[in-house]
Amino acid sequence: MYESGAAERYGHALIREISGWTEVNDPQPIDTIYVGGGTPSLLSVNQLESILNAARNRFSVMGDAEITLEINPGDGGIDRESRLATMREWLRLGVNRASFGAQTFNDRELKMLGRTHDSADIGHTFGLLREAGFANINFDLIAGLPRQTVQGWKRNLERALELRPEHLSLYLLDLHEGTPLHDQITRGVRPKPDEDLAAEMYAMMIEELSAAGYEHYEISNFCLPGFAARHNTKYWTREAYYGFGNSAHSHDGARRRWANERDALKYVELIERGDSPIVDRTDLKDEDARSEAIFLGLRLMRGLDLQEYRAHFGSDLREQYNGELDRLKEARLIEIDSEVLRLTSRGALLSNEVFAALA
């Protein structure tokens, strides 16, 4: 949707959706905006400005709001000075956090993932962001890729720490059906990821980043003190967030969730006809809300406050899951410290097992 004509049409639809939004009466002031999905950095400065202005006109956006823009680490053939000038314009518009998918500093692995950038683009983009004036940068890396070695992963961490971004998202490979890599592994073209090796890589990243002064505040996320992602934290703490555009998801901060049409063209057509782009609505039942609170709360390394859980749901989690909690403690996957239930480092690695036990 980022060809010039399509981008204009999509941008108009997005602005129209934001401007006419009525899903929540009297929404709270907005302290984070996340412009992501696809490659929004390919929007023109004027298009991005119009979208942000629409948000500011519809909502009360706080002056110190965290405004994140996802960008492409490749330059797309744009010359250095033009990219630098554009980045400075982003800052002028109020964007104060940049995030991009580095994935790996290994060019062979980038090609395997189907990425259009190379390892040199990562450092180049990071340097331009710094030169433009960005003081809050995130990028992500993936561990456990086929044929990735512990030594190779260590080099990735070393390169990341040389750049020293304020935030790092470090994920273990999660294969999604329908992706080229999933298809190649299914057909035996590439080997299946080695789970034991991935576990060693996960332990290494915790050790290396902690030694470098980063806080491990969520299963896959690390930050320098004071730079936890404010926007993403809303997902894990079940605060309200409102999504706009195709595939966007929203939560009212209580029990209501809704999602927009996934297909970009269908989304635009719905907006242009004056129809709602929402195609799925969910009102969480008590059981689902409790399960979600546990799943999301335990993603944060600070853990789940058992008193808050009891006050919110009227039940004691320790009584609900007494046998499961004992088994998980014996396996060194969780720990209970006074009124806080949290994952251990081993539990963070095997979090899916913990979540399944407490579902």
DSSP track, 304-336: EEHHHHHHHHSS-HHHHTHHHHHHHHHTTSEEE
Where, residue-wise, is CATH 3.20.20.70 in the chain? 29-236
Q: For residue 80, is pLDDT > 50?
A: yes
Q: Which burial class, exposed, middle or buried, applies to 230 when counting CB atoms under 10 A from its CB (0-12, 13-18, 19+)?
A: middle
Q: For residue 182, is pLDDT > 50?
A: no
CA angle, corner 326, sides to 324 and 328, nearest 5?
70
Bridge partners of residue 140, in order along the sequence: 169
Q: What's CA 134's distance to the chain center, in Å? A: 19
Q: Does domain 29-236 have CATH number 3.20.20.70?
A: yes
Residue 271 is encoded by which pair of tokens? 């907006």
Mean pLDDT, residues 102-127 taken together: 92
Where, residue-wise, is CATH 1.10.10.920 in the chain? 286-357
pTM check: above 0.85: yes
Mean pLDDT, residues 266-287 taken together: 96
Lowest mean pLDDT among 87-91, 110-114, 262-266: 110-114
CB distance 34 to 95 below 8 Å:
no
Q: For residue 89, is pLDDT > 50?
A: yes
Architecture of domain 286-357: Orthogonal Bundle (1.10)
